[in-house]
Amino acid sequence: MKFASGQVAVVTGAGSGIGRALAQALVARGVTVALADWNEAGLAETVELLQVPALSRKLDVADRAAVEAFAADVLAAHGHVDWLFNNAGVALLQTVQEMTYVDLQWLLNINFWGVIHGTHAFLPSMLQRNSGTIVNMSSLYGLMAWPVNSAYSAAKFAVRGYTEAMRHDLHKTGVRAVVVHPGGIQTSIVRNARFTSDDLGRVDRKRLERDFDRIAMTSASGAAAIILDGLERGRERILVGKDAVALSVLTRLFPERYFQVLRSLQRLLR
């Protein structure tokens, strides 16, 4: 399915990063967008950058009732939705033994339940039209695990499994389910993360941010371009960035030993 004028796309987490880049790229293709984000200032900036009218709402995707109300507003305004990008997400860097239930639930409610809430809010209208695409944002950490990312990996592996199972459930309905696995993307997700220590046990947040900036290989606009190109090509699993592609291969070749290989490479890089 190609992007075209007259189509409607919903993007959560549109106030920055990949979400903002997706909104810009979709508008450039003639698609009408409806946008949501918890960060009102960032969302307003995105709308201003688009230079076209766009429905936008402050939204906590962890709040089921709020997501359902947002869906009702979008459908009332536009009548249908062709593309749903469940993109909103947060990060949490803590070891399992340090993690509190409060932080764990915070992340899971946004990164996993937010995807479920968005899907259930918009899927019925897509099924009625026998048309639509649901795009769920997993991660490189939905393909592999890494220290201090147990909560994040749990959510992103869950998004992957949920989406792949949904793909089978939706067979022959006309509605597609696509999972996206970005690698290191140049966004503010690490700066906004809840943080106790990095994967080497260091507590210097600024150093963590510098390390992430150094290894993040793909710009947000580059990520959006890869995602939209993959969707138009009919891909059901989209890897974003050379690092995601390479590490996907590595985890298939060494499903038990990839951590040791990567740790050795990490020592060389640092």
Catalytic residues: 152
**Cα distance between residue 134 and residue 111, in whole Å:** 15
Chain centroid to Cα 161, Å, comes to: 14
Long-range contacts of 61-67 (CB under 8 A, 24+ apart): 61/12, 61/13, 61/36, 61/86, 61/88, 61/110, 61/113, 61/114, 61/115, 61/117, 61/118, 62/106, 62/109, 62/110, 62/113, 62/114, 62/117, 63/117, 64/113, 64/117, 67/114, 67/117, 67/118, 67/121
Which residues, 6 or more positions from 139, have their beta carbon under 8 angstroms from its beta carbon? 152, 153, 156, 181, 182
Chain centroid to Cα 125, Å, comes to: 22
Please report how the helices 101-111 and 150-169 are oriented relative to each other, as an axis angle in degrees rounded to 10: 30
User: Do 247 and 141 form a contact (C-beta atoms < 8 A)?
Assistant: no
Q: How many other CB atoms sit within 10 Å of the CB of residue 265?
A: 11
